[in-house]
Structure 1
Amino acid sequence: MRTGGAPGAVDPGGASAQIRDAAVVRFGRDGFGAGLRTIADDAGVTAGLIVHHFGSKEGLRRACDAHVLALLRTAKEEALTDTDTGSLLARTAGIEEFAPIVRYLLRSVQAGGELAATTAEHMIGDAAAYLAAGEAAGVIRSSRAPAARTRFLAYQGLGSLLVWFTLHPDNGDDARFTASLREYVRTITFPAVELFCQGLFVDRSMLDDHPLHVPDPPSDGASA
């Protein structure tokens, strides 16, 4: 039974966390049309207990969204503030543990609607925080337009995942999704690291000339 708090509050290690974790996996695998009874079977509880803890299916999804975003935020901040490159690159060895999280995130964006839009905006807000942490740690360059850069990077990351998994459908197979995620990481890691560390153009003339060709040039940050 609930240990206290409002509907949607999750007791770490308790039944509510067990339900939420089962829902993350099931929603990721089958989409948000998955029923409460199926999730209850996965979690080994009754559908009534889900309603008791979360109030409704929408309440359960909100709890899943919050959990997934918190996990992603922590992982990203750790990655972007770690100056040990060996440790950073070694994180990809444990990509399997993130497979249900990534799958859920993709389902959320594909589903669209208010919760998907809210999830995307929370992701962008979290990205702003961990990019700022990376700047403070001395591993990320400052930007003339930090908010715009953050949004671009979030859209770029989500878009890349969506294209990959659209072209490589898993058809509900967990092992196939995990293998595809590992292949995605293997495929994009080197070019992404090269691009982020080395840049693309050989000089910065396009950046310097950009303010001359737009009516409202960025000016909300330190010089790049």
Structure 2
Amino acid sequence: MASAHVVAGEREGDIASADRIRDAAIERFGRDGFRAGLRSIAADAGVTAGLVVHHFRSKDGLRRACDDHVLAVVREQKAKALTDGTATMLLAQLAEVERFAPLVRYLLRSLQAGGDLAGALLAQLAADAEEYLAAGEAAGVIQPSRDRAARTRYLTYQAVGGMVLWFTTHEAVLEPGPFQKLFRQYVEEITLPALELFTQGLFIDRSMLDDYLMYVPDPPPAGNAASAAA
């Protein structure tokens, strides 16, 4: 029995150290970019470089773990907002935006770096968005779409592209405190126009859509048929 407790404790210790390394990597990659070495990340986490390799095998392995964690947090928070649909949830999230600043800074660094890992990250952001938008439809908070996948890709490109452009055209702030302040400024700038656009729409009628639909097929995809019927 004692040995079982020892094994369980060792396993929990391994998970805790891996999480600590991952969190340190998110901070370091976000601050310095992906040129940051494993030794500096290990020092930030208070472990040896060998332990980093033990848990993640390589810098790419560590970066994928960071991607997975950032995506999981984004997915969780977006799902809450798009299935709850209340002002209370929105205000609660706005009140703690600084908590997410390290993850956003990491996400920006990854997308700006480009390459296969950035492409995979963007594809997973879109795939996750399709899932939580579908959950929002099922909860009666989101309007159904003629083409849910296409709408999701558009929203992902707009959101990610707009965020990257905004931060690229503002001064690059590398220290945690100033970046948190910059992230708060970004959120406050986009929240009202985004909510207005998403809740009220832009055009006063649907004539432009109706004219367009005269020239393209209009059946809802099979996956959206039930939502459209509801």
TM-score, normalised with respect to structure 1: 0.91
Residues in 1 aligned to 2:66 and 2:140: alpha-carbon distance in whole angstroms = 33
Report the equivalent of 2:181: 179
Report the equivalent of 2:133: 131
Report the equivalent of 1:42: 44
Q: Per-residue displacement from partner, 1:114-171 (whole Å, max 9, x unpaired)?
A: 1111111111010000000100111000000100000000111101111110111333
Report the equivalent of 1:7: none
Residues in 1 aligned to 2:173 and 2:91: alpha-carbon distance in whole angstroms = 29
Report the equivalent of 1:85: 87
**Equivalences for residues 1-224 of structure 1 within 5 A:** 12=15, 14-214=16-216, 219-220=220-221, 221-222=224-225
Residues in 1 aligned to 2:116 and 2:70: alpha-carbon distance in whole angstroms = 17
Matched AA of 1:81: T
Q: Does the 8 A contact of 2:146 with 2:218 survive in 1?
A: no
Q: Does the 8 A contact of 1:80 with 1:133 survive in 2?
A: yes
Matched AA of 2:183: L
Residues in 2 aligned to 1:47 and 1:41: alpha-carbon distance in whole angstroms = 8
Looking at CA atoms only, which structure, 1 or 2, has the larger radius of gyration? 2
How far apart are residue 41 of structure 1 and its match? Answer: 0.8
Q: Does the 8 A contact of 1:170 with 1:176 survive in 2?
A: no
User: How has the CA–CA distance of structure 1 residues 188 and 218 changed in structure 2, closer, same or farther, with 3 Å as cutoff?
Assistant: farther
Between the aligned residues of both structures, percent identity stands at 58
User: How has the CA–CA distance of structure 1 residues 140 and 212 changed in structure 2, closer, same or farther, with 3 Å as cutoff?
Assistant: same
Matched AA of 2:99: E
Q: Does the 8 A contact of 1:65 with 1:119 survive in 2?
A: yes
Moved more, 153-162 or 164-173: 164-173
RMSD (Å), alpha carbons: 2.1
Structure 1 residue runs without a partner (length 5+): 5-9
Q: Does the 8 A contact of 1:82 with 1:88 survive in 2?
A: no
Matched AA of 1:78: K
Q: Does the 8 A contact of 2:24 with 2:45 survive in 1?
A: yes
Compare the two structures and name the one with the higher helix fraction. 2
Q: Secondary structure at the match of 1:144?
A: coil
Matched AA of 2:56: F
Matched AA of 1:102: V
TM-score, normalised with respect to structure 2: 0.88
Moved more, 185-194 or 205-214: 205-214
Q: Per-residue displacement from partner, 1:32-63 (whole Å, max 9, x unpaired)?
A: 11001110111001111100111111110111
